[in-house]
Amino acid sequence: MKIALIQQPCEIDRNSNLQTATEAIHEAASLGAKLILLCELHTTRYFCQMEDPTNFDLAEPIPGPTSAQLGRLAAELQLVIVASLFERRAAGLYHNTAIVLEQNGHIAGRYRKMHIPDDPGYHEKYYFTPGDLGFGPIDTSAGRLGILVCWDQWFPEAARLMALAGAEILLFPTAIGWDLTDDAAERKRQQDAWITIQRAHAIANGIPLLTCNRTGFEPDPAGHGAGIRFWGSSFACGPQGELLAQASSDHAQILIAEIEDNRSERVRRIWPFLRDRRIDAYHGLLQRYRDDS
Amino acid sequence: MKIALIQQPCEIDRNSNLQTATEAIHEAASLGAKLILLCELHTTRYFCQMEDPTNFDLAEPIPGPTSAQLGRLAAELQLVIVASLFERRAAGLYHNTAIVLEQNGHIAGRYRKMHIPDDPGYHEKYYFTPGDLGFGPIDTSAGRLGILVCWDQWFPEAARLMALAGAEILLFPTAIGWDLTDDAAERKRQQDAWITIQRAHAIANGIPLLTCNRTGFEPDPAGHGAGIRFWGSSFACGPQGELLAQASSDHAQILIAEIEDNRSERVRRIWPFLRDRRIDAYHGLLQRYRDDS
């Protein structure tokens, strides 16, 4: 199966961002892609650089205008699209939500980001209520998709839970970048760590993984911070963590990769990790910390 | 703090293996190392290539001759040694056990390998009863050590549990190698995966990690398999997964690295993963698989 990651910079104007994505998806379809992954919050700038209540105006219901527009596109091109939206669920209740548009244009399912970051430049705890749907893969014509979002990628628990629930591919819409006040060595460590830990999720669970990040520089609208230089580098890897394709760090790109159907079955036979998990000794994973130790 | 990994090939003769390790530890001490990590089952060939009841003769009690010998060495050189032994606990009850020798020569603690592999060439379920001590770090003069053994390295749960119990460093005595009937691409994928997933444990938990593997070729004593070419490549990485030092894949080596004391504290402030774990939604980790999904 051919997949495509739509790595793009995001502008202030929603329609322009969706137009960019739509053109890229058309091109990906013409190249044979049957599964499309967009980057995190691809209809807007990364508005979480500052806390501003007017930004809640950017949220939309699901179903809503963007799910409808991308649903029509999925139906037109006969493929599956994984999109990432700022979901308005109720007044004062918002989520960072990924949705899947099926080939028939319908919403196959949604995932609400479970792990919410909050750091200088990434004020997500202000905007996003932590997800309450758990770690559930979504069945589609392109396989059972384990969709997680950005900060989730630092938590092996999230990937494992998706795999234990039968996910066949892990997918991560992402928005992560550099603080340019960090030196070059620190920037490289951060980017390497981001690649490494996601490849490790593929390895630990014996399934392929797709991650799609935005590119471009976005200034801090408040003028306090140095802004974020999103580092792109979207990639696809196989069930041994082997890189199948990787995008540049600094420009828009349609990254195509081929996911081999039976590779997970073969890899899990040589590395039968699921057989050997010590579930009798994992109860500590449900604790915040072992203060008694 | 300077640490040293003693990467070595292992011969049939126990005394020769211990002599090699002892000389290397003397040299590491002269270079300033305060914490020594030996490779898995460093007193013997990797006897698990075949199932043979006479191999249980290789096991020894703890305390026993090797713990006494290494304890004297630790006291003489005033450093901490992490060793890996085939433990005879009772008739018919054996473990793959790591022990820590303190600067005073005493045994500071032990860890019994929790995840036991079993694959062609690695018949460990025949020899080793799964550990029953859980994932408990061991307090030493060189810090609180989260010692895990080989196959444990493929399980993010193990590293996480050690970190949640306060481990300050993760340490992996290891015996892993290539089946030379695999092609070069497969061998590279396996070795890369082994490096990647361990670096990811450091990243996910914001702590440094040491892994020490044996080198050399050991034929299959039964003559069925192609033998194992142990791939060395022992390494030390920091809490962002950054490589601090890495050994060759094919010869004995004393690998020295410097572990920075306050780096975990700083890294966990910029990447506060422990803050954001969704312990309310992790109960599925205690399941073998979610068959209902």
**pLDDT tens readout for residues A173-191:** 999 999 999 999 999 999 9
**Which residues does B54 contact at the CB level (< 8 Å), separation at least 6?**
none
Average pLDDT value for chain A: 97
- B chain contacts of residue A274, beta-carbon cutoff 8 Å: 288-289
Best B161, B196, B205 residue to mutate vs chain A (most A CBs within 10 Å) = B196
In chain A, which residue's Cα lies nearest the Cα of B167? A293
CB of B181 within 8 Å of a chain A CB? The answer is no
- B chain contacts of residue A161, beta-carbon cutoff 8 Å: 281-282, 284-285
- B chain contacts of residue A157, beta-carbon cutoff 8 Å: 156, 160, 277-278, 282, 285
- A chain contacts of residue B197, beta-carbon cutoff 8 Å: 200, 203-204, 241
Domain that holds residue B176: 2-286
Higher pLDDT, A292 or A178: A178
Which pLDDT tens digit goes with each residue over B173-232?
A: 999 999 999 999 999 999 999 999 999 999 999 999 999 999 999 999 988 889 999 999
Name the band, by pLDDT with cuts 50, 70 and 90, for residue A291: confident
- Report if residue B101 sits inside a domain: yes
- Report if residue B293 sits inside a domain: no
Which residues in chain A (94-113) have CB-CB distances under 8 A to chain B? Answer: none
- Report if residue B191 sits inside a domain: yes
- Report if residue B291 sits inside a domain: no
Best B191, B276, B289 residue to mutate vs chain A (most A CBs within 10 Å) = B276
A150 catalytic per annotation: yes
B113 catalytic per annotation: yes
Check CB contact under 8 Å for B273 and A165. Answer: no
Given B48, B150, B212, B237, the catalytic residue: B150
- Report if residue A292 sits inside a domain: no
pLDDT of residue A261 exceeding 90 = no
- Report if residue A141 sits inside a domain: yes
Check CB contact under 8 Å for B136 and A200. Answer: no
What is residue B261's predicted lDDT score, i.e. its pLDDT? 87
The count of CB pairs under 8 A between chains A and B is: 177
- Percent over 70 (pLDDT), chain A: 100
In chain B, which residue's Cα lies nearest the Cα of A240? B193
In chain A, the number of structural domains is 1
- Report if residue A291 sits inside a domain: no
pLDDT, block means (10 residues), chain B with 293 residues = 98 97 98 98 97 98 98 98 98 98 98 97 97 98 98 98 98 97 97 98 98 97 92 98 98 97 95 98 97 71
- A chain contacts of residue B264, beta-carbon cutoff 8 Å: none
CB of A269 within 8 Å of a chain B CB? The answer is no
Tell me, rounded to whole angstroms, the distance of Cα B217 from its chain centroid.
Answer: 19
Mean pLDDT, range A74-103, rounded to an integer: 98
What is residue A159's predicted lDDT score, i.e. its pLDDT? 98
Determine the distance in angstroms separating the CA of A36 from the nearest CA of chain B, rounded to an integer: 24
State the Cα–Cα distance between residues B239 and B202, nearest whole angstrom.
5
Check CB contact under 8 Å for A155 and B199. Answer: no
State the Cα–Cα distance between residues A249 and A194, nearest whole angstrom.
13
In chain B, which residue's Cα lies nearest the Cα of A124? B276
Check CB contact under 8 Å for B240 and A199. Answer: no
- Percent over 90 (pLDDT), chain A: 97
What is residue B124's predicted lDDT score, i.e. its pLDDT? 98
What is residue B293's predicted lDDT score, i.e. its pLDDT? 57
CB of A120 within 8 Å of a chain B CB? The answer is no
Which pLDDT tens digit goes with each residue over A30-85?
A: 999 999 999 999 999 999 999 999 999 999 999 999 999 999 999 999 999 999 99
3-class SS letters over chain B: CEEEEEECECCCCHHHHHHHHHHHHHHHHHCCCCEEEECCCCCCCCHHHCCCHHHHHHCECCCCHHHHHHHHHHHHHCCEEEEEEEEEEECCEEEEEEEEECCCCCEEEEEECCCCCCECCECHHHHCCCCCCCCCCEEECCEEEEECCHHHHHCHHHHHHHHHCCCCEEEEEECCEECCCCCHHHHHHHHHHHHHHHHHHHHHHCCCEEEEECEEEECCCCCCCCCEEEECCCEEECCCCCEEEECCCCCCEEEEEECCCCHHHHHHHHCCHHHHCCHHHCHHHHCCCCCCC
The tokens describing B67, both together, are: 């713990």
State the Cα–Cα distance between residues A207 and B57, nearest whole angstrom.
40
Check CB contact under 8 Å for B196 and A241. Answer: yes
Which residues in chain A (138-157) have CB-CB distances under 8 A to chain B? Answer: 151, 154-157
- Report if residue B40 sits inside a domain: yes
CB of A184 within 8 Å of a chain B CB? The answer is no
B76 catalytic per annotation: no
Kindly tell me the sign of the dihedral angle through the C-alpha atoms of A267, A271, A272, A278. Answer: negative
What pTM was computed for the model? 0.98
Which of B197, B276, B279 minimises the CB distance to A287? B279
- B chain contacts of residue A204, beta-carbon cutoff 8 Å: 154-156, 197
CATH number of residue B204's parent domain:
3.60.110.10
